[in-house]
Amino acid sequence: MATSQSIVRGSIPARAGIGLRAVHHDALLSERPDVGWLEAHSENYFADGGAQVDYLVKLAEHYPLSLHGVGLSLGSTDALDREHLRRIRRLVNRFEPCLVSEHVSWGSVGGVHLNDLLPLPYTWEALRHLARRVAEVQDALGRQILLENVSSYLQYTVSELAEWDFLAALVRESGCALLLDLNNVFVSSRNHGFDPIEFLEVIPCTAVQEIHLAGHTANRYGDREILIDTHSTHVCDDVWALYDAALRRFGSVPTLIEWDTDIPALGVLVDEARVADSRREARHGLAA
Amino acid sequence: MASLRDLQSAFASAVRGGEAELLESYVVEDGIAPARRLGIYANNVRENFLATLEATFPVIARLAGRDWLRQSGVRYQRACPSRVGNLHYVGERYAAFLEADLAEAPYAYFADVARLEWAYQQVLVAADPAELDRASLAVVPPADYGGLIFELSPAARLVSSIYPLFAIWQSNRAEAPAETGTAIRLDAGPSRVLILRRRDRDHVELRELPAGDFALLSAIARSRPLDAATDEALQSDPALDLAAALNRLVQIGALTGWSLPRPA
C-alpha cells in the first residue's frame, strides 16, 4: 500500500480516487489497484438488475464509493423529476455511498432535456431556486449532498453575482457542501478572465468535501481560444498548481481523477491518482 | 429582467436550432460572438445524444454505416428530443421514428432492427429474473390448469418482424465476423425473436422461436390465462404440442412465475 488510509469526512479516505467507467469494471476487479475510492455516475447504475449493477456491488466490497449524478437538472425551472430522484434514492439506500453529489447546472425546460450541464445565470432568483431544490433533494435522501461547479463557455448579461459568491451563498442557503472541480474553475477562469485563486479564496473552507481533477482541450476562435472541459486527457500543470493552492486552503480533501472521453487503460488513471496523492502528501509535509 | 425560465427557454430554443436572437442578448460577447459560444453547447448537446444513439444501436450502425446513423440521429433528435435526464433512454422512440421516417424507403426494415436493439437494451437493465418453482405447480388441480397465468421473465422481450430479423442481427452484431459471405434475402420470411437474460447470467441471448411458441409466449406476456394463450398459440400452429412448448419456455428461463386467480 502506497499510503495510509486516513479516514476523514465520513468514511471516504482523504486521498485520490478514480471515476468508475464500465470499460474498467473487469480490470478493477482483477487488479484491485491501490486507489482510495471510486466515484460512479449514478445514472449508469439506475438499472433494476443486470451486469452493471452487479459490478458495482462487487466493487463496493473493495472500495469506498461516491455517487455522482449528471441528469437531475437541479437548476431547471421544470418540476423536479420524481422518478429520477427515486432512482437516486434507491441507489443511495442500497450502497450507502460516502458522498453523493450533483451539479450547479440545469439541463431541461418545457419537458425537453438537453442532457448537458448548462450554466445557470448567477442571479438571486436562480440562487433561491437552486437552494430550494437542493434542500428538497437533501430532505428526500435524508443526507447532505455536494454541489459541483461546472465549466462554462459563456457568461450571462443578467448575472448579479460572481460564480464564487453564488456558490458560497448556495452553501449558506441550502446547507449543501461543495464538490470543487478545479479543472472547471481553471477552464472558466481562462474563458472569462478571472483569477482562479481569488475564486478559491471566497469559497468557505469547511464547505469543500471533494475535489475533482480532469483534463481539457482548447478551441481557437481567431486570436481567442475557449477551453473545453472534455475529460479527455491528463490534468495539466496549471490545474496541478491550482490543486496545490486548494490543498493549502481546504486541507486534505478526497480528490477524484475523472476521464470520460478517449478513456485510457486503468493504469493511466491509477498513475494520475498517485500524482494527486504525492502532491497531497508533500503539502501535508509542508503544513506539519 | 428576464426570468430564469425565460432564459432557459431561449437557451433551449437556440441550441436546438431555433431562434437565437433572444438568447444572444443574454450572452456577454467578450471577444467571441455569442452565436459561437452557443455553438459549443449545441455541439455538446448533439454529440452527447449521437454518441448514446451509436452505443445503443450498434447493429444499425454496422448495417447502415456510422454516417447514416448520425444523420438519421440528427433528424431524430430534432423530431423527438430527449424527455429524460438519463441519457441512456434517448433511444426509446428511435424505432417509431424510423418506422415513420423510412416508411417508403427500401431499408424500412431498419425500424424493426431498432426495435430489436431497444429490446436488447431493456433486457440488459431489467430486474434479475427469479427461477420458476416447478414443484409448486403440483398443488394446482389439473382442472384448474386453464386458469393458470404464467409470468414472462422481467428480463425477456419479444420482437417479431416480416423480415428475417434474427439472421440480420446475427450477421451484424459486434461479435459477428466482418464478412459472412452469405447475403441475407429480405424476403426470406418472417422472424420471431425472444431477447432474454437468464438467471445468473450477465449476457443477453437472442433466440428465434417457432410460431406456436412465440404466440404462446406473447399471450402469456399479456397476462392471458393458459387456456386463452393456448387458443392463440394453436391459431399460429395447429399442431403445437402445448406441454412440450411450455417445457421449452420454462427450460430457457422465459417463464419465471405463475398465479391462479380465484374464480370470481
What digits encode the pLDDT tens for the residues B186-204? 888 899 999 999 988 889 9
Cβ distance A156 to B26 less than 8 Å, yes or no, reads yes
Percent of chain B with pLDDT over 90: 83
In order of A80, A109, A183, the CA distances from A150 in angstroms are 20, 19, 9
Task: Name which of B5, B82, B154 is nearest A113 (Cβ-Cβ).
Answer: B82
Q: Which of residues 97-156 of A touch B (CB under 8 A)?
A: 106-116, 118, 120-121, 123, 125-126, 129, 153-156
Q: Report d(CA B38, CA B44) in Å as an integer.
A: 10
Helix (H, G, I), strand (E, B) or coil at B181: coil
- Give the burial string for A177-193 (b: 16+ CB within 10 Å, else e): bbbbbbbbbbbbbbbbe
Q: Please, what is the average pLDDT of chain A?
A: 94
Catalogue all structural domains in chain A, each as residue range(s) with its CATH number.
Answer: 16-287 (3.20.20.150)
Task: Name which of B27, B32, B45 is nearest A224 (Cβ-Cβ).
Answer: B32
Task: Choose among A106, A153, A156, A150: nearest CA to A130.
Answer: A106
Locate A85 and state its grid cell: 430522484
The whole-model pTM stands at 0.93
Q: How, if at all, do strands A99-103 and A146-148 pair? A: parallel
Measured between CB atoms, does A73 come within 8 Å of chain B?
A: yes
Helix (H, G, I), strand (E, B) or coil at B61: helix
Cβ distance A112 to B85 less than 8 Å, yes or no, reads no
Q: Which residues of A touch B21 (CB under 8 A)?
A: none
pLDDT digits (tens, 9 = 90+) for B85-112: 999 999 999 999 999 999 888 888 999 9
Place of cell 425537453: A112
Q: Which residues of B touch A155 (CB under 8 A)?
A: 27-28, 30
Q: Where are the beta strands (DSSP E) in B172-245?
A: 191-197, 204-208
Q: Report d(CA B111, CA B104) in Å as an integer.
A: 12
Checking if the pLDDT of A122 tops 70, the result is: yes
ipTM of the prediction: 0.93
- The mean per-residue pLDDT over the stretch B68-80 comes to 97
In order of B234, B254, B258, the CA distances from B145 in angstroms are 17, 19, 11
Q: Report d(CA A145, CA A133) in Å as an integer.
A: 11
Q: Which of residues 180-199 of A touch B (CB under 8 A)?
A: 192-193
The burial class, CB within 10 Å (0-12 / 13-18 / 19+), for B30 is middle
Percent of chain A with pLDDT over 70: 95
Measured between CB atoms, does B154 come within 8 Å of chain A?
A: yes
pLDDT digits (tens, 9 = 90+) for B219-230: 999 999 999 999
Task: Choose among A146, A148, A147, A151: nearest CA to A119.
Answer: A151
